[in-house]
Amino acid sequence: GQQVMQIPQYQHVQEGEDFTTYCNSSTTLSNIQWYKQRPGGHPVFLIQLVKSGEVKKQKRLTFQFGEAKKNSSLHITATQTTDVGTYFCAGNFGNEKLTFGTGTRLTIIP
Amino acid sequence: DTEVTQTPKHLVMGMTNKKSLKCEQHMGHRAMYWYKQKAKKPPELMFVYSYEKLSINESVPSRFSPECPNSSLLNLHLHALQPEDSALYLCASSQDGPSGARGYTFGSGTRLTVV
């Protein structure tokens, strides 16, 4: 089936360190979206990537879409305690479905 | 209004009960969704409604019955659930479907416990 995997599953970082999560699909994606879910909360949309090789930035967050449109990454520079949560990529395979990745749970050590 | 409102926030029901989850949005979004999320797992798609018509059912058991009375409302009717159905049920909406640049807007969810 169409699945989207993320690594790592968990990441613990010291406050101020950088963080990266990687998202991989076995088949080409039409587009990919990224969401953040705080503990006890609901997913909140961050960004969408559509073009091969696309790079987008939001303040300390950098999102990339691979050349083959099968993988993506989210990089956070100089993490803060407010970055705590689970980061999900969500892939669209060209149909009406948005398939969520397995997620990476980020915890920050103050 | 840029929110998706879900009620109730918490629900405890017995296996013989019938209950309904409600979802409402006033953003004029043409698509609405039900997702199920178990603890420490990603949201899993259950149903997709597009222009008030059911377009995707992800082989969900018939004890879950969706309904879209109008373009702003989405219900999920529950009957004869099992304890393993306990989860966070998330409603979402979007203007342009999964290809939309503005993504999905999720409600805060209904935390369901089946006893």
Mean pLDDT of chain B, nearest integer: 95
Distance CA A107, CA B95 (A): 33
Phi, then psi, of A82 in degrees rounded to 5: -70, -10
Query: Considering CB atoms only, which of B31, B92, B99 is closest to A30?
Result: B99
Distance from CA of B103 to the nearest CA of A (A): 6
Q: With contact defined as beta carbons under 8 Å apart, do A32 and A19 qualify? A: no
Partners of A88 on chain B (C-beta within 8 Å) are: 42-43
Q: Exposed/middle/buried for B70, CB within 10 Å: 0-12, 13-18, 19+?
A: exposed
User: Using one digit for the tens of pLDDT, what is the confidence trace for B3-34?
Assistant: 999 999 999 999 999 999 999 999 999 999 99
Contact criterion met (CB < 8 Å) for A35 and B103? yes
Q: Is there a contact between A24 and A32 (Cβ–Cβ < 8 Å)?
A: no
Q: What share of chain A is helix, strand, coil (3-state, %, to 5)?
A: 5, 55, 40
What's the rounded Cα separation, in Å, for the pair B79 and B27?
Answer: 30
Q: Is A9 on the interface with B (CB under 8 A)?
A: no
pLDDT value of residue B93: 96
From first CA to last CA, the distance across chain A in angstroms is: 40
Query: Where do we find the tokens 């949560």?
Result: A85
* DSSP assignment of A66-97: -TTSSEEEEEESS--GGG-EEEEEEEE-SSS-
Chain A to chain B Cβ contacts (< 8 Å): 62
Question: Which pLDDT score, from 0 to 100, does residue B100 have?
Answer: 79
With bands split at pLDDT 50, 70 and 90, how would you rate the model's confidence at B108? very high
Residues on chain A touching B97 (C-beta within 8 angstroms): 96
Confidence at B85, pLDDT banded by 50, 70, 90:
very high
> Which residue in A45, A95, A103 is closest to B103 by CB distance?
A45
The rounded distance, in Å, linking the Cα atoms of A46 and A83 is 12
pLDDT in tens, A43-97: 999 999 999 999 999 999 999 999 999 999 999 999 999 999 999 999 999 888 8
pLDDT at A36: 98
Q: Which residues of B touch A95 (CB under 8 A)?
A: 98
Mutate to test the interface with B, among A89, A98, A106 (most CBs of B within 10 A): A98
- Chain A residues within an 8 Å CB radius of B36: none
d(CA B50, CA B71): 9
Which residue in A has a C-alpha nearest to residue B55's C-alpha? Answer: A96
CA distance B92 to B27: 12
